[in-house]
Structure 1
Amino acid sequence: MEGSWVVEHEAAAQAISLVGTFLSISEKSFRDVSQFIDYVSSLIRSKGADASITRSLDELEASVELLKYALNALPQTYPNKDMMLESLAQFYFRLYRKKAIRNDLEECAIFARRVLDSTSGDSLAWADRLSFLGTVLSEAAIQKWDATLEGAIIANQDWLALQTEKESDRHATGLDIEYHEYETSKFELSQLELSILSHRGATMCRSVIDQEREGKLSKHLRWLELLYRERYQRKPMVSFGLETAICTMRKSLRLNYESVYDYVYGLELQAELLMNHYLQTRTASFLEEAIDTLKKMCRIPPREYYSDPVGRKILVSCFCLLAQQQSPQGCGANMEDYYDESISIARDAFEFEPLPPAWWEQSAFLTYRASLFEERYWASHDLRDLDRAINLGKKALDLTPKAHSSRLVRLEWLEDFLDQKVAMSEASDDLENMIQVSRMVLDEAPQDDQETLSLRYLSLGEKLEQEYNKKGTINSLREAIQLSMNAIRLTTSNGTKALHFQSLGTWYAIIQQKTQDKADLKSSIFFFQRNLEASSSEIDSIPSISSSKHDWTLKNGVQVGHLKQIMPLIEGYCIGHMWRDAYATLHDGISVISKMSLRSLSVSHRRSAISATAGIASFAAGLAFIVGKGPLVALALVEKSRNMFASSLEDLRVEVSGELQQLHPGLAAKFMSLRYQVSRPGLTLRQFEPNGGRAMVAWQLDQVIEEISCKPGFENFLMSPNEEDTREVSSSGPVVVITTCPMRCDAIIIQPHQVRGLTLSHLSHEDILDKVKSGNINNLKVLEWLWDVLTSPILDALGFTQTPGNGEAWPRIWWIPIGPLSKFPIHAAGYHRYRTKNTVMDRVASSYTTSIKSMIQTRRRAIPAQSRPERAVLVSVPQTTGLSTLKFVKEEATRVGSLCRSMGFDVIEPQPRMESVASHMAGCRIFHFAGHGSVNSSDPSLSQLLLEDWKAQEFTVAMIQEMNLRSGSPFLAYLSACGTGRIRQSSQLDENTHLISAFRIAGFRHVIGTLWEVNDECCVRVAERTYEEMLKEGISDDAVCLGLHKATREARDQWEQRAEANRNRFRKQGRTHCWSVDRDRDIEECDVNDDLQVPEWVPYVHFGV
């Protein structure tokens, strides 16, 4: 029992001495020994033997040893043994407080648990002993000893429940839930122990809180506040116990608080828990309750509790979240109002004076003020707020004595502020200050926590890398390397070692680029190899067919991490011309990709997986050619390493072969059932989140697919196509896959009789990246460059050297550009300015496709015979909130509608709102959209067609991908809007995540779209001419491609005529000319000269078979 013991030191020392003497003499009867031990230990316990009273640490340690001897000597049935256990736990706790050694706290926890287990659940002492155990475990949890955290929370919750609830109320809170198991530790409360603890608490009810227990309430609220925050800092996405915590705090806030400060503290904690719950569930009511809770706090006169601004900081966060909720696009009408209110609240918190009297209160107060300025910075984006946070952080640090434990916390806050300032500022002083503070953090950090110390060394190394990037001083990297080498010796964690290996490999690679020293290259490769070995061993430890969803999720997570570590090693091998090592490593990496499942991953994890594979496809093809593997192997690697998510969705919609149903009817039926559950309409991507039921079904489906692929004859089930299927796909014209990497650029040409490679010796990967970086991908000069280095060699190799004569069929060609090359208008390459025939569109009709596999699957779906009436859905949006009016959209809708009716279609023009449009798409054969398109720069799955209600309900790539319209055999989606085939994020290029591909995945056989912004009036001409060709040729695959080809070619010819007339006119006037293009469907503006003009007919593209 934790009490105040006032005793003279001499009495305690004399007791210890007497017992020591007594035990050292010759044998006594057990009865005598036990009685004497009982007497002296009782004396020690009653008199105190407190560490604050003993003259030396030795005497406290002697007391501990005495009691341990006594406990070992006495029988289990000894009546006062629980009191001795309690005293021993108290002594160990005082030892820990004096020495700060973890082992003392571990021993304390062991004896505290033993005395609790020996205490009757209906005794008054049980609550006090539970309180002490909660305190011990809380101390361990706050010291980052993870295994204790949940035990500490439940012990404190149970104690609080004893004070605030009756038995029926306690069960209603759900405290007796099933708890997660954590890694084995001396601190850990097992699942069974926690359940027993919880049920014992339920039997211990009080209807009246006596004065002593009310005095302890604030302590447990403080522990809970620290523990809850600690849990969500470490595991922000773990929802376990959150509702329980909220319920506990609601009940505790009904108590009468003697201290205003304790009440404010409780309000703050309740609001933070509610905000965390909102972040996990996105349920607005939790956020609103958090704001209401904190407004109560703001009404309390601040001088009563020194205006601790923690709650105001949380309230600012809530208002910022509320602003984001009102407008996910960041431009809602109420957003600025919410931010203004949050800033006003923040300002009020700064103006209350005076500061608390004690230095440590002042220091904490200034730190909280600084953190509130940091929070306001995220709302205002004003660097002056960060400067204020830094200045306040420095003042808080100056107030803190060097020997005090809180100094490290103040340093970490200041380091965080400076880190953010450096990320947003170019000032050298900020970087130097950040590095200086990081060095101070390292000096102040406890040396016994070697795991954390190792990570701190790594953090300082990363800041030194920033210094190198700014100043170019290699010594900064050399120091970072030395720090990391020393830090590796401190850790036993494979994960932490892997982080060091990755950083060391990176730093040596950077140095090698500067020095060209082979030794640095060798070191870089060595550390990247060590890093890859660590992740490979993790993958090997997970079963190939997982027994649980946890294993499956872990497997995917490890695979993503493994892929992220491959490319740096590959690049090192390539620099050293170690081609076979590079190929073998990348081949193994692609094997990992082929085993990954994106269906059962959350959206964020899926995006991470896609980013991890960026660039692998082109590298793999280049290395395959270098080591002599040939075009078929190169093509297979390309197919396996890109277009992963789209392929996984299309796999859900393929027809199941009769052979599978005949040989393995059970597996076939299970596959079809699970496939339906995953792909059935009306479900959203949110249900793919880890806790969603749909994610579980997707995981089960992946298991079935893996099981089918293990059956003889089905090894390629839903896998990449074989050679025969690959060659067959070119029956209507050649398919050309273009790969580029730093070593070489190649075209893989697929024809009915062969698959061959063509080296593109004049095409440079570096040139491609330079043009993409500068945004220089679509002007006349680029079109001519594309002709010289790319399309002319390919067309010559295929024999397409002339324009087809009158009456001759136009040959078709399919392009599959990989990586950054997919941004370029390959179909429009050539010399167009002077009416030459050295252009792609004067020799072939071009189409694009995302993959060979996708093309095969589409070809296998026959075009059904046209039945009447069939529907054409026409959506026109001439006016969109916040954007320019498109004055030609109505004219386009009228002309297209007329042509569709002439083709026998029933034309439907729904309200241009999301629900109406989506509902009419089911069963339509043609979908035509004329309006604005929007490309999301950070997440291409959020790119959208802008309907009237786009701010409330977005018609995005992700939503369209979810639609399965294949049963209605949709034929053509014509997207007459800006950038429907554009991807801004380079890491997502190989996935083809854009609006065009979304409509293809949804089931449309053909999609016409645009690569960038388009001219409003030109859209009318191109659309009308395309549909006219379809009216003439009928509903066929060739008609769509040839319709767009002829439309853009005619637009090009008209452009050439105008260009020539303008040149003649300007020539007569004696001046050079410039071009400006009216881009009514473009949100951006651009001035261009003759070489750099972007012709209006270039961006239109056809995707399909």
Structure 2
Amino acid sequence: MSDHDASKADVYFTRGKLCFRLFQLRRKTEDLDNCIRALEQGKTIATDSHPDYPDCEFALGSALKIRFQLHSTMSDLDSCICSFQRAVEFAPETHANKPIFLPALGFECIQRFQTTGNVADLDLAIQSYQHLHTVLPLDRQPPDTLYRLGYALLRRFEHRGDPADLDAAIISHRSAAESPSNSRTGKATYLRSLADCLVVRFEYFGDVNDLDEAISALRGIIESVNESPLVLAGCLCSYGNALFLRFQRFRSRDDIEEAADVQKRAIALSPDSFSGKHSYLTNLGNTLVARFGQYGDINDLDDAIALQHRAIDLLPDTGLIHKPVYFANLANSLSSRFGRSKQLIDIDTAISLLTQVIDMTPNARKDKPAHIFTLGNAYLLRFGWLDDLKDLENAIMCYRRAVGLVADNDPTKALYLGHLGGSLYRRFNRGGGREHIEEAIAVGNRAVSLTPQDHPLLANYLSHLGYSYMIRFDSYGEQTDIEKSVFCHRQAVERTINEGTDKASYLNGLGLALSHSFQHSKEARDINESIDVFQRAIKLVPAEHPGNLIFMGHLGSAFKYRLEAFGDPDDRDMAMDAFRTAFSDSRSKNGDLSFYRQTCRAWAGLVLRSSPETLAESFAAWESLVDLIPRTAWLGRTISERHGQVSAIGEDVRRAAAIATLCGRYTEAVEWLEQGRAVIWGQQLNLRAPVDELMLKEPELAQELTRVAAELDAVSTRVDQEWSLETAEGAAQRNRRLAEEWEELTKKTRAIPGFENFLQPKRLPELQKATRSGHIVLLNVAMQNCSALVLSPDSKEVMHVPLPRLSYQLAETLKNNLRSVLDASHTRARSSRPYIPGARKDGNLAHILSIIWKTIVKPVLDRLGFEVSKSDVDTLPRICWCPTGPLAFLPIHAAGLYDQPVRGYTTSDFVISSYTPTLSTLIPTSEPPVSGQRTPSILAVGQRNTPSLGSLPHTGDEIMKIRDNANGFQVHVLEDEDATVDRVREGMTKNNWLHLACHALQMSNSPLRSAFYLHDGSLTLEELITKTASHTEFAFLSACQTSTGDEDLSEEAVHLAAGMQLAGYRSVIATMWSIKDEDGPVVADGVYSRLLLPKPDSTRAALALHCAVKRLREDTKPKQLNDAWFLRWVPFIHMGV
């Protein structure tokens, strides 16, 4: 008998059937394997024309299906489907078993789709079920085949969005439900599937009739099915979903409450072993999130998140197609909780999850735009907390992408457009261009026009559009814009029937529009209605709702506007009550920072203008604002990002200190100025603070603090401009987690007896330790008051020195005049520039210095009782100046009347001057001082010819002067080609003194990019602050602009000299502007002759510079004073101890 003999094939077919029978009896895997092997051998022998070939293929596929169910090996499922396909292909249409082959093939294709998500499997399944219609009349088809056809059509619609698939799915499910062969339980199952399809059609196309039919059908099923708990559970879950959707449309509290109740019943009826329980859990989670959004019970959110996590845990390995949806549901729950709790890990996790969801979701899936939109919402939420412009830009990008992925007739188009408009007006408010607000209005109008008049979200779109019109009115003053804004907000209110948080939000928008209208029109009816609607909004939300505080702040502002217009003292009282209420609540620290700063200023300004007796309340208002500093400059951001945030702090802190001074609260004034100045440097220094004492008491905690501090210090200086979005997001989240860990560890440390003040803002007794080297004079300049606050070594009290002749405007004028002189003198780079008489009007610097003397320095010296020293210069008292605001850019140390023939009219006649950005940098870190503990050595760097920059021929002489004064002192020199970035870096780690004679540049647009220029590159401030060493002592920065900061960050001391202090150099000589190249050696000689003899001592740096500059000043003094003379010696300053 040949191998191709049909009878031999029959033998294998029979053997396969017998092995299968054995497997059924014994349930042994080898029997199943033998069955598959025999059938495979049989079909290779038989020809396609063998009468049993289709049955053999089907039997083989059935065996492979069982083995797949046992071992989950995908190749078995693939082979199963191939065998079923061949069975269908080779069975004639009249074959008795073809009506069995077709639905079996369809079923397995659906199974594979549920595992892989490949839509081609749905195509094959649908083709198989539709083929069945041609071989078996519809009325003879089992209802489960109609049900599965409907399922496959629905899933394909979700992926490709063809409405014909959804309509066909509804027809199939309706036919299954109406089949006369149904049992009561079967009918319930099929009716539930029909209802689910109707719900989907409602979601996508908005026909309420579909939703009503679904709810009616499901209610009827629930009332009739009791014998099968699992069937009842499924119907309850679907019923809950339909009620949830109706709640979203009509906002009926009865719907959302019933939805939650029936979904809980469904879960209770389903054991964890039930394969579909995960869907019930995630659906209830969604319902609870919606209920929280409407009624604000935080427990709903916690429960929702727990449910979503549990749903994901129960998701089977074959449920990969559900994973993106479940991740998205969890992300939505976390985003909602963040909106209340402000725990950044929630929104960070949500964004990470949604990013994964989008990556996992095929482009063709109908729900992909929804996931992208949800990610945009998450970015926008985080922007509201962190105020990070990148988040707002990402939100806009997501909304644009979602809008572009849906057709105009898609009901979600308006939703995406509405949110795009809202994000665009926010972008305009954050320094955007007019194109942003114009587009916001255009897309807002489009969202409104695409939305049915009875749609509940129309109010939301109108509200967004109203804000856009209001913002454009504020910027460009077009009267019709504010009229349109009021109209849109009023429409939003009137279209919202439900008296809940949504209506309160729309009332708030209307109140704002009316307030803005009043400020232009001064019509009493506008401000009266504004106050009325704010009060209505407050009544509509629970007292614990965060919106309550915002509405209260807006109400206070409205009363303030009416007070200013009409002068009714009752309005003043009402405004102060509203402001007081808003800021007395601890939740005000968790709201919108810019809003609270703005409202706090309004409160403080109101009470200050009211009467002198209300100064104490103004003090409380500013104290609330100072309390916001830690959040404004949070460690969870990079240094560069924090600089962007703190630019607004300086003015607020100066005003706060001025009010404290007016109240006689000098201690608080000093403490606030310290807390609000050089905030970023202070944070970085805290990260580098020694923990020796803690190590003795709690070594494990100290080690954790040290580890986290080091990681946080490193990650906070990152630069991520060139990173991918995913990489930058990961780094930013790591930064935030470390900051949170740091906060938790410092909290634990402060709970230990004796460490209660660990890294807390320093109080006056601690700050007094900074006076070890002499008097410290804080110069505060604000609109309300200008004064000096003096800390002295021999007093525990703060001395207040009024400066009545100084004003903020005068300080600004002096700063601007000085800048004009410097610009005209081309002092931005160290050079051998000549003085050109007549190039500008002379005498400007003498005039500036005389005003500083009369308005600032002379009153301070008189109050301290200082007289002109008649003895040796070594006995001169020392003042460390700590100027604020525009004064930070003025040469206080050089103030004087230089046209006087006798001594006693210049600062240097009375004192030795130093500067400090903060008091903390002067506080000794150890006893005794660093100098003298080890033999110092100096790294001297000189750059005569830096590539692409001007020649500095005298830097060589400058280095030589250091060598001449060395007296056995180790001097390590790097000049010209040897002065590379790497060698200078290495030298800084080996030497505790540093002298840099080179070009330097302050980058005003990017302060951390300010740098010293070496032979092969630059050493930036950004890099300097990442280096710190305990051995460093003194640095002489003989370069240009090394102590010139950023005018927008006047309180932050963002300059190279401060960077050197942060890197550990506690005593620094620097320059306020570029020096004349030939003067470098003169000053260096004078400084080092005093510093190195009789032995090296960096604590004499201020005295040494005083003497060296005095010599330069006297040796170069012309017969007639001119600016060129002042420009030579004034720029040299000392900073630190």
Aligning the two structures, in what range does the TM-score lie when normalised by the shorter sequence? Answer: 0.5 to 0.7
Name structure 1 gaps, 5 residues minimum: 13-35, 150-181, 207-216, 281-285, 292-308, 316-345, 540-553, 1063-1074, 1078-1092
Q: Secondary structure at the match of 1:922?
A: helix
Residue 931 of structure 2 corresponds to residue 931 of structure 1: no
After superposition, the Cα gap between the structure-2 partners of 1:469 and 1:800, relative to the gap in structure 1 and judged at 3 Å, is: farther
After superposition, the Cα gap between the structure-2 partners of 1:667 and 1:82, relative to the gap in structure 1 and judged at 3 Å, is: closer
Report the CA distance between 1:501 and its aligned residue: 2.3
Deviations 1:1079-1099 (A, max 9, x none): xxxxxxxxxxxxxx9845434
Q: Secondary structure at the match of 1:841?
A: helix
After superposition, the Cα gap between the structure-2 partners of 1:524 and 1:916, relative to the gap in structure 1 and judged at 3 Å, is: farther
Q: Does the CA-based 8 Å contact 1:147-1:183 persist in structure 2?
A: no
Residue 751 of structure 2 corresponds to residue 707 of structure 1: yes
Residue 755 of structure 2 corresponds to residue 738 of structure 1: no
C-alpha distance in structure 2 between counterparts of 1:898 and 1:131, whole Å: 81
Residue 638 of structure 2 corresponds to residue 487 of structure 1: no
**Residue 585 of structure 1, aligned match among 588, 602, 620:** 620
Superposition map of 1:349-360 within 5 A: none
Superposition map of 1:362-401 within 5 A: 383=434, 387=438, 390-391=441-442, 394=445, 397-398=448-449, 400-401=451-452
Residue 108 of structure 2 corresponds to residue 108 of structure 1: no
Report the CA distance between 1:791 and its aligned residue: 0.9
Q: Does the CA-based 8 Å contact 1:643-1:851 persist in structure 2?
A: yes
Residue 914 of structure 2 corresponds to residue 847 of structure 1: yes
Superposition map of 1:189-204 within 5 A: 189=304, 191=306, 193-202=307-316, 204=318
Report the CA distance between 1:111 and its aligned residue: 2.9
Q: Give 1:1100's aligned residue.
A: 1132
Q: Give 2:1069's aligned residue.
A: 1008
C-alpha distance in structure 2 between counterparts of 1:101 and 1:753, whole Å: 69
Report the CA distance between 1:792 and its aligned residue: 0.9
Q: Secondary structure at the match of 1:982?
A: coil
Q: Secondary structure at the match of 1:795?
A: helix
Q: Give 1:970's aligned residue.
A: 1033
Q: Give 1:253's aligned residue.
A: 362
C-alpha distance in structure 2 between counterparts of 1:645 and 1:524, whole Å: 35
Deviations 1:211-237 (A, max 9, x none): xxxxxx8x9989988997998798797
Q: Give 2:866's aligned residue.
A: 800
Report the CA distance between 1:451 and its aligned residue: 1.8
Give the TM-score normalised by the residue count of structure 2. 0.63
Q: Give 2:236's aligned residue.
A: 85
Higher helix share: 2
Deviations 1:790-836 (A, max 9, x none): 21122233343436567775443222234554343211222235666
Amino acid at match of 1:453: K
After superposition, the Cα gap between the structure-2 partners of 1:809 and 1:119, relative to the gap in structure 1 and judged at 3 Å, is: closer
Residue 432 of structure 2 corresponds to residue 432 of structure 1: no
Q: Give 1:907's aligned residue.
A: 973
Amino acid at match of 1:426: Y
Q: Secondary structure at the match of 2:914?
A: strand
Residue 920 of structure 2 corresponds to residue 857 of structure 1: no
Q: Give 2:850's aligned residue.
A: 784
Deviations 1:98-136 (A, max 9, x none): 85525324433543464466468888xx66x87688678
Report the CA distance between 1:757 and its aligned residue: 2.3
C-alpha distance in structure 2 between counterparts of 1:478 and 1:1094, whole Å: 60
Q: Secondary structure at the match of 2:778?
A: strand
Q: Does the CA-based 8 Å contact 1:975-1:1007 persist in structure 2?
A: no
C-alpha distance in structure 2 between counterparts of 1:997 and 1:77, whole Å: 76
Superposition map of 1:9-158 within 5 A: 81-82=232-233, 85=236, 88-89=239-240, 92=243, 96=247, 99-112=250-263, 114-115=265-266, 118=269
C-alpha distance in structure 1 between counterparts of 2:707 and 2:909, whole Å: 46
Q: Does the CA-based 8 Å contact 1:509-1:572 persist in structure 2?
A: yes
Amino acid at match of 2:888: S
C-alpha distance in structure 1 between counterparts of 2:925 and 2:567, whole Å: 50
Residue 1020 of structure 2 corresponds to residue 955 of structure 1: yes
C-alpha distance in structure 2 between counterparts of 1:899 and 1:418, whole Å: 67
Residue 508 of structure 2 corresponds to residue 458 of structure 1: yes
C-alpha distance in structure 2 between counterparts of 1:442 and 1:812, whole Å: 66
Q: Does the CA-based 8 Å contact 1:599-1:645 persist in structure 2?
A: no
Root-mean-square deviation (Å): 6.2
Report the CA distance between 1:530 and its aligned residue: 0.8
After superposition, the Cα gap between the structure-2 partners of 1:1059 and 1:932, relative to the gap in structure 1 and judged at 3 Å, is: farther
Deviations 1:721-744 (A, max 9, x none): 898887776565433333455256
Superposition map of 1:516-595 within 5 A: 518-535=569-586, 568-575=602-609, 576-578=611-613, 581-582=616-617, 585=620
After superposition, the Cα gap between the structure-2 partners of 1:480 and 1:934, relative to the gap in structure 1 and judged at 3 Å, is: farther
Amino acid at match of 1:977: C
Superposition map of 1:645-724 within 5 A: 646-647=681-682, 649-650=684-685, 665-667=696-698, 670-671=701-702, 674-675=705-706, 678-679=709-710, 683-685=714-716, 691-692=734-735, 694-695=738-739, 698-699=742-743, 701-708=745-752, 710-711=753-754
Deviations 1:1012-1032 (A, max 9, x none): 566667667655654455456
Report the CA distance between 1:396 and its aligned residue: 5.7
Superposition map of 1:328-339 within 5 A: none
Report the CA distance between 1:202 and its aligned residue: 1.0
Amino acid at match of 1:487: A
Deviations 1:1064-1085 (A, max 9, x none): xxxxxxxxxxx7x7xxxxxxxx
Q: Does the CA-based 8 Å contact 2:1068-2:1135 persist in structure 1?
A: yes
Superposition map of 1:1019-1038 within 5 A: 1022=1083, 1025-1027=1086-1088, 1030=1091, 1035-1037=1096-1098
Aligned residues: 899
Q: Does the CA-based 8 Å contact 1:590-1:641 persist in structure 2?
A: no
Q: Give 1:17's aligned residue.
A: none
Q: Secondary structure at the match of 2:909?
A: coil
Amino acid at match of 2:315: G
Amino acid at match of 1:1009: A
Name structure 2 gaps, 5 residues minimum: 1-146, 152-168, 385-389, 719-730, 822-844
Q: Give 1:329's aligned residue.
A: none
Amino acid at match of 1:450: G
Give the TM-score normalised by the residue count of structure 1. 0.65
Amino acid at match of 2:866: F
Q: Give 2:799's aligned residue.
A: 757
Q: Give 2:727's aligned residue.
A: none
Between stretches 836-845 and 373-382, larger displacement belongs to 373-382
Q: Give 1:871's aligned residue.
A: 938
C-alpha distance in structure 1 between counterparts of 2:584 and 2:686, whole Å: 32
The percent identity for this pair of structures is 16
After superposition, the Cα gap between the structure-2 partners of 1:832 and 1:970, relative to the gap in structure 1 and judged at 3 Å, is: same
Amino acid at match of 1:1098: V
Q: Give 1:184's aligned residue.
A: 299
C-alpha distance in structure 1 between counterparts of 2:426 and 2:620, whole Å: 45
Q: Does the CA-based 8 Å contact 2:222-2:232 persist in structure 1?
A: no
After superposition, the Cα gap between the structure-2 partners of 1:250 and 1:7, relative to the gap in structure 1 and judged at 3 Å, is: closer
Q: Give 1:891's aligned residue.
A: 954
Report the CA distance between 1:196 and its aligned residue: 4.8
Amino acid at match of 1:944: S
**Residue 505 of structure 1, aligned match among 549, 552, 556:** 556
